[in-house]
Structure 1
Amino acid sequence: MVYVSMFSLLGVNGHLKEGDSFTLTAEIQEDSISAVGGVSINFLEDRPDIKPSRNILFHFNPRPSSRIILNSCLKGKWQDELTIEGNDLDGMLLQKPFDLTIKILSVKDARNACENKSEFEVYLNDVFLTTFRSPLPITASKFIGFSPCIRICKASKSVC
Structure 2
Amino acid sequence: MFLTRAAGVTAGLVGLAAAVPGQAQAAPVIPAAGTAQSNWRFCPKCYSMFFFGYADNGRCPAGGAHTAQGYNFILPYGGAETPNAQSYWRFCPKCYSMHFEYYGPGPCPAGAGHTEQGFVFVLPHDIAAPPTSQSNWRFCQKCFVLFFYGYADNGRCAAGGAHSAQGYNFVLPHA
| TM tier, smaller | under 0.3
Q: TM-score, normalised by structure 1?
A: 0.28
Higher relative contact order (CA 8 A, sep 6+): 1
In terms of fraction of residues, the more strand-rich structure is 1
Taking structure 2 as the reference length, the TM-score comes to 0.26
